[in-house]
Each structure stands twice: as C-alpha cells, then as structure tokens.
C-alpha cells in the first residue's frame, strides 16, 4: 500500500515559502510593535505635561525647576540623584500630580534601554540619569540669559510668560547615549565638552553607530531625518523632527533669536 509523504523537494519548497513569508512579516510586525511603543511614549509625555500644568495651577502659575545635574532643588520636576530611592523620587515636584508612589516607568520610554545609560560627566556623586525625558531649559529659567528680564538662577518662570503655548516645547525624549539629566538644552553649553543633547530617534530612523551619529548630526539633512516625541505647553504631544526640536521659536517662551 502506497503511503502519502512529502518528497525532499516539496519539503524544501515549503521551507522556502515559510522563510519568504517570515522575511516579509517580521519587519511589519517590528514596525507595528515600535508604533505601539511610540504611542505609549507619547502617552507618558502627555501625562507628565498635564502634571506640569497642574503644578503651575497650584503654585500661583510658577513652573518647576529643570532637575539639572548641579544640585537638587525641592522644586525640581524630577528628583533623580543617587542614591536613587523611591522616597527621593516621591519628593519630585510633579509626584503629587502623577500619584504616589511615583511610577518610574512613566518617566521612561518603552523603547529606551535606560539601564544602559552612563554618567557621561564621570561624576559618581550624581550617577547616570535613568530616565528618558528632559525638560526644556528655557521654560525653567535655569539660565538667566534666556530670560533676561527675570534675573536670578533658578528663579521660577511663570506659565503666563509662555506665548503661543501650542508651539512651545516642554518635554523631549532625548537620545539615551547623550542624555545628562532632567534639563534639556540642544545648544552647546559650558561643561558639556561640545556634547550636544539631541532628540531621540528610537521609533524609526535610528542611527546604530554613535560615531556615525555624531558625524551625521553636523549635517542638517540628518537632523531632519531624526524624529521623536515632544510635548507642548498646551498639553498636546507631537512626533517631530530633530530640526523642529532645535528651532529657538519652539524653545524660547516669548522671545525669538
């Protein structure tokens, strides 16, 4: 009696078809997964920005400080210095508006390998910044020269000073290989050794090699290709280009260069 069975040729054909289908489907599934992570990242930024707005409502319109790697201030939007204890995180200015105990993952992009962050300044007193988002330094008045009519380091800025709130960036997802702290400044500032923080490109158009990335960042076309999530002072979130995120018109609260 003859038994039905696959021949070797037929089996190889089936394997080849499956391989082709996988080659077609896997990139699509990968993009779909990254799209979902991008949406979650945007949701995180939206929630934090709403907390930022509620903080201002409860503090006579004053905005929280930048959480820079200088010193910890009680009005820092995120207290992150090590030793990184939950108690310290719960002292963050925005903690009461996002719930206690503070959920660390709210401040981390799901596509960010935050555990790989290093202390780029080599100062062990602070430690790596294990979060994905930083706040626009211009809205925190960290540097008086950005708001010349409001003198004084860390004197808080009022939310009413922000003009065209739908165009002014509050929070940015920063590239994890260059992120320093909770204060984002896309310009070359003293003490950064010409290391300029840039918009992350985790959700697409990612440049895998850091040396290549740094060289391409000198190219305006490369900044246009880099895209990431940012939130705005009216509470909405957009997926923008690196060029957009560096534009002073989207950073300065009420002035233009």
- Half-sphere exposure of 94 toward its Cβ, with a 13 Å CA cutoff? 25
For the ranges 70-74, 102-106, 198-202, 245-249, the lowest mean pLDDT is seen at: 70-74
200 close to 112: Cβ distance less than 8 angstroms:
yes
* This prediction's pTM: 0.78
Average pLDDT of the residues in 31-45:
88
83 in any annotated domain? yes
In this prediction, residue 66 carries a pLDDT of 83
Quick one: 112 exposed, middle or buried, by C-beta within 10 A (0-12, 13-18, 19+)?
buried
**Do β-strands 133-136 and 183-184 pair in parallel, antiparallel, or remain unpaired?**
parallel
Round the average pLDDT of the chain to a whole number and report it: 79
In a domain, 151, yes or no: yes
Tokens of 110: 């799901």
* Residue 257 belongs to some domain of the structure: no
Asked if the model's pLDDT at residue 50 lies above 70, the reply is: yes
Q: Which domain holds residue 142?
A: 8-250
Between 23 and 127, the more confident residue is 127
What is the model's pLDDT at position 27? 64
Q: Where are the strands (E) in the chain, listed by range?
A: 133-136, 169-173, 183-184, 227-232, 237-241
Domain count, the chain: 1
Q: Write down the pLDDT at residue 29.
A: 59
Residue 120 counted as domain residue:
yes
Q: Running DSSP on this structure, what letter comes out for residue 85?
A: -
Residue given tokens 């040729």 in the structure block: 9
Choose among 190, 212, 207: nearest CA to 242: 207
The answer to whether residue 256 is domain-embedded is: no
Q: Could you tell me if residue 1 is inside a domain? A: no
- 44 part of a folded domain: yes
User: For residues 235 and 101, which has the higher predicted lDDT (pLDDT)?
Assistant: 235
For residue 228, what are the β-bridge partners? 240
3 state DSSP class of 62? strand
pLDDT digit string (tens) for 22-31? Answer: 777 666 556 6
Please say whether the dihedral angle defined by the alpha carbons of residues 165, 129, 44 and 174, taken in this order, is positive or negative. positive
Q: Examine residue 255 and state whether it is found in any structural domain, yes or no.
A: no
Q: Say which residue the tokens 């021949």 belong to.
A: 7
pLDDT digits (tens, 9 = 90+) for 153-201: 556 788 998 999 999 999 999 988 888 889 887 765 444 444 578 888 8
């Amino acid at each position: 009696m003859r038994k039905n069975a696959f021949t070797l040729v037929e089996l190889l054909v089936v394997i080849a078809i499956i391989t082709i289908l996988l080659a077609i489907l896997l990139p699509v599934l990968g993009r779909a997964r990254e799209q979902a992570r991008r949406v979650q990242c945007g949701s995180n930024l939206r929630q934090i920005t709403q907390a930022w707005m509620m903080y201002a409502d409860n503090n006579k319109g004053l905005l929280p400080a930048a959480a820079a790697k200088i010193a910890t201030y009680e009005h820092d939007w995120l207290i992150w210095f090590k030793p990184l204890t939950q108690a310290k995180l719960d002292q963050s200015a925005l903690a009461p508006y996002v719930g206690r105990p503070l959920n660390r993952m709210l401040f981390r992009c799901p596509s960010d390998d935050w555990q790989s962050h290093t202390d780029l300044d080599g100062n062990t007193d602070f430690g790596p910044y294990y979060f994905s988002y930083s706040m626009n330094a211009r809205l925190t008045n960290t540097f008086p020269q950005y708001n010349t009519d409001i003198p004084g380091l860390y004197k808080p800025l009022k939310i009413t000073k922000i003009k065209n709130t739908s165009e002014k960036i509050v929070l940015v997802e920063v590239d994890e290989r260059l992120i320093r702290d909770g204060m984002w400044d896309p310009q070359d500032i003293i003490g950064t050794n010409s290391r300029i923080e840039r918009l992350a490109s985790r959700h697409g158009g990612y440049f895998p090699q850091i040396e290549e990335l740094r060289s391409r960042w000198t190219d305006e076309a490369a900044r246009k290709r880099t895209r990431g999530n940012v939130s705005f002072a009216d509470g909405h979130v957009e997926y923008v280009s690196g060029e957009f995120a560096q534009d002073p018109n989207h950073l300065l609260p009420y002035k233009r260069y």
